[in-house]
């Protein structure tokens, strides 16, 4: 088939709320709940404060609300802040079918736009699902190649297209207008992944970069700017330039039958997603054999190709580096007893015992996993004990993955763990009930007062 970009735009424009299966709508709401929790929970981190101060300083038209703090700023500024909050600590959603972080790309963009445009809840949720499917299909068509090549990064490369599609629909553009917004979004598509080798807090803004590019694309399309035909499938389009294998069929596969939202994942651990399988396998061996840190001589973790280079920082110099270090994630799991945002601190980074244990962990490509499970985030974990035993296990699917999903109750508990401290349990519960019924709101702007506590100092 040709004209895949146009077909995808038509799907995004035409999808009706009633065409979305109940379980897909429920998963979309799970994702919105999880992301808002991550935004509130991540809002006080140093890089979040830096972004908030930078984008608040210029002021401007009061179009959309900053989560927790309550400032009303121009659309792009509010979204850039909220998106950074939502991706501030590697605790947000992922998807093993296509990688990256759709939640902090899409949820802030679409809630803020719907707030400005006074969009009803049903239309908001239909547009959100349509935008997620654009994200899923664009990334599914190229993610394996980006993973193996080491970039461009999944959110910054693929995210602008979905945000452009979703925001364009909320702005009232038809299929041709959405096609044009997608075409313009190609200008914003890119981003380097050196952070998984060299750290740096800038990674926290990658979904915000995607969101900003997508919003600008939709607004420019609304204003009448045009972009090239075939931005995804063309001779100099996204799939040809970024993909080793040309897979345009994935852009349009089984509309209404295949839903990429079905493979959304919610993180129980605050670190890079591939390390979750290693954490589960390591925790299983430690529990089954009643191991203490002083009983372990070495740990080896094997991943399929691509993943092995994404979580292998051996000597991190900052918190992001810890979160992309299999050694440090396993050290925190064993020595601190958990792997949540509370465990990733500068004190832990410099803790001699954490450093010592992390140095025992090696990471490499596992050729058999590459052969049997290429593109799937699995892990083989082998522990060598001080008395010479070799203990190993294989984990195909991590907790939180589509095969072992977090339940609605799990997601709600995670939400409360991030929101209650700032909002109080009662207000947090009120916000959660509103989010759980977001499709019944007459106007998404009604949500805004529930999203903040009204004081930047807090």
Number of domains in the chain: 2
Interior angle at CA 319, CA 148 and CA 70, nearest 5: 105
Neighbours of 106 (CB within 10 A): 34
Last residue of a domain, one of 240, 263, 286: 263
Is 71 found in the same domain as 196? Answer: yes
Is 285 found in the same domain as 248? Answer: no
In a domain, 428, yes or no: no
Rounded to whole angstroms, the Cα distance separating 302 from 312 reads: 11
pLDDT of residue 2: 85
Give the global pTM. Answer: 0.95
Q: Which positions of the chain have pLDDT values less than 50?
A: 455-458
Is 219 found in the same domain as 85? Answer: yes
Last residue of a domain, one of 236, 263, 290: 263
pLDDT of residue 196: 86
Q: Which domain holds residue 355?
A: 275-395
pLDDT of residue 456: 37
Q: Is 443 exposed, middle or buried (0-12, 13-18, 19+ CB in 10 A)?
A: middle
pLDDT of residue 454: 66
Question: Would you say 403 and 396 are in contact if contact means Cβ atoms under 8 Å apart?
Answer: yes
CATH number of the domain where residue 290 is located: 3.30.1330.120
Question: Would you say 145 and 245 are in contact if contact means Cβ atoms under 8 Å apart?
Answer: yes
Is 89 found in the same domain as 39? Answer: yes
Is 334 found in the same domain as 244? Answer: no
Is 214 found in the same domain as 77? Answer: yes
Residue that is written with structure tokens 């349009």 in the block: 252
Neighbours of 456 (CB within 10 A): 16
Is 162 found in the same domain as 63? Answer: yes
In a domain, 110, yes or no: yes
Interior angle at CA 86, CA 70 and CA 283, nearest 5: 140
In a domain, 436, yes or no: no
Rounded to whole angstroms, the Cα distance separating 278 from 283 reads: 8
Question: Would you say 151 and 191 are in contact if contact means Cβ atoms under 8 Å apart?
Answer: yes
Q: Which pLDDT tens digit goes with each residue over 380-433?
A: 999 999 999 999 999 999 999 999 999 999 999 999 999 999 999 999 999 999
Q: First and final CA of the chain: distance in angstroms?
A: 54
Q: Which pLDDT tens digit goes with each residue over 258-306?
A: 999 999 999 999 999 999 999 999 999 999 999 999 999 999 999 999 8
Picking from 30, 36, 128, 135, the residue whose alpha carbon sits closest to that of residue 82 is: 36
Q: How far is CA 37 from CA 73, 333, 440, in A?
A: 21, 23, 20
Picking from 114, 39, 23, 121, the residue whose alpha carbon sits closest to that of residue 81 is: 39
């Amino acid at each position: 088939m040709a004209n895949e970009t146009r077909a995808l735009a038509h799907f995004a424009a035409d999808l009706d709320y009633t065409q979305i299966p109940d379980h897909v709508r429920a998963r979309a709401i799970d994702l919105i709940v999880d992301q808002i929790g991550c935004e509130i929970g991540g809002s006080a981190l140093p890089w979040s404060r830096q972004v908030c101060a930078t984008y608040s300083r210029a002021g401007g038209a009061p179009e959309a609300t900053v989560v927790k703090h309550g400032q009303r700023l121009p659309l792009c500024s509010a979204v850039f802040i909220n998106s950074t909050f939502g991706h501030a600590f590697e605790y947000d959603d992922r998807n093993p079918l296509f990688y990256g972080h759709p939640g902090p790309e899409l949820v802030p963009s679409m809630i803020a736009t719907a707030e400005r445009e006074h969009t009803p809840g049903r239309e908001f949720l239909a547009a959100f699902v349509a935008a997620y499917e654009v994200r899923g299909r664009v990334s599914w068509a190229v993610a394996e190649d980006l993973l193996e090549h080491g970039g461009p990064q999944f959110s910054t490369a693929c995210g602008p297209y979905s945000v452009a599609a979703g925001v364009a629909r909320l702005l009232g553009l038809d299929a041709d207008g959405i096609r044009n917004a997608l075409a313009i979004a190609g200008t914003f598509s890119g981003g380097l992944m050196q952070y998984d080798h060299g750290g740096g807090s800038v990674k926290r803004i990658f979904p915000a970069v995607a969101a900003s590019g997508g919003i600008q694309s939709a607004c420019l399309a609304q204003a009448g700017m045009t972009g090239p035909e075939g931005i995804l499938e063309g001779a100099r389009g996204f799939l040809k330039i970024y993909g080793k294998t040309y897979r345009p069929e994935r852009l349009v596969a089984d509309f209404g039958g295949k839903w990429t939202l079905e493979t959304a994942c919610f993180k129980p651990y605050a670190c890079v997603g591939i390390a979750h399988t290693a954490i589960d396998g390591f925790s299983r061996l430690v529990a089954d054999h009643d191991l203490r840190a002083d009983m372990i001589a070495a740990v080896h973790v094997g991943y399929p190709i691509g993943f092995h280079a994404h979580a292998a920082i051996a000597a991190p110099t900052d918190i992001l580096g810890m979160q992309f270090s299999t050694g440090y994630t396993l050290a925190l799991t064993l020595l601190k007893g958990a792997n949540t945002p509370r465990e990733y601190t500068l004190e832990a980074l410099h803790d001699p015992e954490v450093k010592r244990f992390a140095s025992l962990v090696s990471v490499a490509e596992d050729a058999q996993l590459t052969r049997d499970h290429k593109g799937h985030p699995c892990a083989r974990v082998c522990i060598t004990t001080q008395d010479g035993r070799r203990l190993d296990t294989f984990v195909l699917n991590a907790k939180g993955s589509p095969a072992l999903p977090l339940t609605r109750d799990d997601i709600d508990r995670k939400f409360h763990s991030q929101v209650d401290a700032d909002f109080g349990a009662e207000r947090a519960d009120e916000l959660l009930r509103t989010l759980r019924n977001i499709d019944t709101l007459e106007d998404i702007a009604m949500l805004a007062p529930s999203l903040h506590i009204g004081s930047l100092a807090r």
